[in-house]
Amino acid sequence: MQTQQIDRNDIKNFLGSWAEGIIAIGSSYTEGDDYREKAISFLKKNYAFAHDEVLFKPTFTNEILFRNDFDSALSYFIGGDISEDSGFAIRPWKKIELIESNFIIDNSTNAVMGTLGLQPFDEEKITKIAFTFILAIYDNHIKIRVHHSSPLK
């Protein structure tokens, strides 16, 4: 892990890229492309599993709350070995937009907390979620070490 300084714009760009990655997985799924490989690439690009411990509490989990390893995170995003996982990323989503963001940025901690609006591909209703990401830099790339999200009512 590097202690390279990042700023709010770097984090906002990362969040935009993260959202685009989720949408791209869903698009691959609906188009019959290799969505599993796209999801694997997404996890490697955005999460620190290959570099460090990761804590991941996905938005829509009830039975097994945490996905703290690569395989269970993949199951959450595209479905897999965990029975409650229907595939968050293959829903699919038409739009994921940052509604609010709050930051802590210093020499050792990079955190963003906020709300996202997720619009399913076939609906107009927007699902709002609250999220917290703790971010670190590995090989000059921002990656998530802690991801906690939950739906808002």
pLDDT digits (tens, 9 = 90+) for 12-39: 999 999 999 999 999 999 999 999 999 9
Classify strands 93-105 and 55-57 as parallel, antiparallel or unpaired: unpaired
Q: Of the CATH numbers 3.40.50.720, 3.40.50.1980, 3.90.1150.10, 3.10.450.50, which one belongs to the domain with range 8-151?
A: 3.10.450.50
H runs (alpha helix) in the chain: 8-30, 35-46, 70-78
* Predicted structure pTM score: 0.94
Question: How big is the chain by its Cα radius of gyration, in Å?
Answer: 15
The residue extents of the domains of the chain are: 8-151
Q: pLDDT (tens digit, 9 = 90+) per residue, 72-124?
A: 999 999 999 899 999 999 999 999 999 999 999 987 779 999 999 999 988 89
The residues facing 105 across adjacent strands are 110
